[in-house]
Chain A
Amino acid sequence: MAKELLKGNEAIAEAAVRSGLEAYFGYPITPQTELLEWLSVRMPELGRTFMQAESELAAINMVYGAACTGARVMTSSSSPGISLMMEGISYIAGTELPVVLVDVMRAGPGLGNIAPAQGDYNQIVHGGGHGDFRPIVLAPASVQESIDLTGEAFKLADKYRAIVVVLIDGSIGQMMEPAELPPMQQVDRQRPNWAVTGAKDRDRRILSSIYIDPENEEQTNFRLLERWNQIEANEIRYKEYYLDDAEIVVVGFGTSGRVALSAVRAARAEGIPVGLLRPISVSPFPYARLKQLSEQACGMLVVEMNSGQMLHDVQTAVGGKIPVEFYGRMGGVIPLPDEILEQISRLCYEPVAPSANPRESWMDRMDLAKN
């Protein structure tokens, strides 16, 4: 199929349609609304279900119900809307249902604004609702990757009966890039053997997240964890740039990852041996690869559009062996390549102690820049 110029939000929506999405439930919020808008046209056209719910709370619970029937379902929202969905997300995890969720992040906390940000990392990667579970989280950095990972998200959700979050920010949702959509895949009407489909001529099935007996709940927790171990063993994804001989490793996901790529190229042009690791699955996180890189490099720089959330995962991977520095912009401000280049140069020419607190020194530098 030929490349088309596609907007991120619409590309994800169409990729979901072509992955055999059967039902979508959602509620509008900028900068995600085009996704819902696209599906509001496409889904009825194909005789599939599109529902604009009365709230995010309703939408996620409709997704919960529809997922129980074994249908391929998804919802999408942006940061404040995702917060409203947290309870439902946890119930879906507890009931072990395959669901795809798209979070087009905007700045916060609170109502914040509609500009791009990555402040939901902790809420999604380390949270995603109460209780003891981990969602799979994929963080594309381009329109093409958003399409590819949307298809992948449905497969992973089915494979592990798990929630898969496609985590992008407003800029990827709003930007247009040439990209190729997958061929149309028909809706799979076959239902898995756990789905509730009406118990005529068979034993009834019960789907629930209630385990009154603590022993049973613990068993469920272990089952989720065993599945998670499988996910960690099989589903780690990342992309590497110029790492072969890199002595400085920049780490960034999504938009901050691709902005960092421009900075890394500029630094290379100046002769600085720097490379980039862009985690694509931020959950499961590429700890092992980062640990390996910490044996080769003499410093790392984590770049995020938040106050340093993935930073802690990188620090865990590196284990204090080499300095890990941080650079972030918040509030809907997108870092530009020259800012990151400056940090790469600093790391190259002014070595820092591994013990230094990266967030504190970043704040000091930001203060200096203001004055």
Chain B
Amino acid sequence: MQTEIVIAGFGGQGVLFAGQVLAYAAMDNGKEVTWIPSYGPEMRGGTANCTVIIADEEIGSPLVRYPQALIVMNLPSLDKYEQTVAKGGTVIVNSSLIERPIHREDLSSHLVPANEIAESLGDKRMTNVVMVGALLAVIPVLPIEAIEKALKDHLPERHKKLLPLNYQALRAGADLVHKERIGQQA
């Protein structure tokens, strides 16, 4: 059993950290995990992405051609990665910055106005955590509590005061997806 997640956006959106939080939580839950960033020259000011693989056994390739889940924080990332998501996979779209619809009909896509949610919580730096919360509401590869613990244990000391806000952001992302589901059922 293996779950592959690609997180993509531009530098400064917390793409790499969002992946690390997932990796920390997976590790703390006794899973095998790999986190691998793009480390090319595009890192400076351009797009950034990382691949996180969470598994029950020794992980082979740290990269996959067709990831099961994708978090896209900006339009260039959606343009680049939409075609790569595995059939039936999940896309979490930051609809604050991405206005176009998802072209693929075989994906489960979820629009999350993550910038607006983060700003309404009072800090736009929470955007990435909102997206992680939304993802885990769709693919329950890890419990939300595991992410909370990972944030508590691994958020840099200087950001520790932002912990309650991070928790709120995580829940806000997850709640949005839950509500959307209830809406669909109704």
Q: Produce 1/0 per residue, A146-168, CB < 8 A to B.
A: 00000000000000000000000
Residues in A with CB closer than 8 Å to B39 are 30-31, 114, 170, 174
Q: List 28 A-B contacts (CB under 8 A).
A: A3-B27, A5-B23, A5-B35, A31-B39, A113-B40, A171-B62, A174-B36, A174-B37, A174-B39, A175-B62, A176-B34, A176-B35, A177-B34, A178-B27, A178-B33, A255-B62, A258-B59, A258-B61, A258-B62, A259-B60, A261-B61, A262-B61, A263-B60, A263-B61, A265-B60, A336-B65, A337-B65, A338-B65
A260 within 8 A of B: yes
Count of residues in B whose CB is under 8 Å from the partner chain: 22
Query: In the complex, A175 Cα to B35 Cα: how many Å?
Result: 6
B165 within 8 A of A: no
Query: For chains A and B in complex, what number of residue pairs have CB atoms within 8 angstroms?
Result: 67
> Which residues of A come within 8 Å of B, CB atoms?
3, 5, 30-31, 113-115, 170-171, 174-178, 255, 258-265, 334, 336-338
> Which residues of B come within 8 Å of A, CB atoms?
20, 23-24, 27, 32-37, 39-41, 58-65, 154
* A258 B60 Cβ-Cβ under 8 A: yes
Residues in B with CB closer than 8 Å to A114 are 39-41
Residues in B with CB closer than 8 Å to A261 are 58, 60-61
Q: Considering only CB atoms, which chain B residue lies closest to A170 in the complex?
A: B39
* B27 A5 Cβ-Cβ under 8 A: yes
Residues in A with CB closer than 8 Å to B34 are 175-177
Query: In the complex, A67 Cα to B20 Cα: how many Å?
Result: 38
5 residue pairs, one from A and one from B, having the closest CB atoms: A262-B60, A261-B60, A259-B61, A178-B27, A176-B35
Known: A174-B39, A263-B61. 14 other contacts (CB 8 A): A5-B24, A5-B27, A5-B35, A113-B40, A171-B63, A175-B62, A176-B35, A177-B34, A177-B35, A259-B63, A336-B63, A337-B60, A337-B64, A338-B65
Residues in B with CB closer than 8 Å to A264 are 60
Query: In the complex, A53 Cα to B85 Cα: how many Å?
Result: 46
* B27 A337 Cβ-Cβ under 8 A: no
For residue A178, give the distance in angstroms from its CB to the closest CB of chain B. Answer: 4
Residues in A with CB closer than 8 Å to B60 are 258-265, 337
Residues in B with CB closer than 8 Å to A336 are 61, 63-65
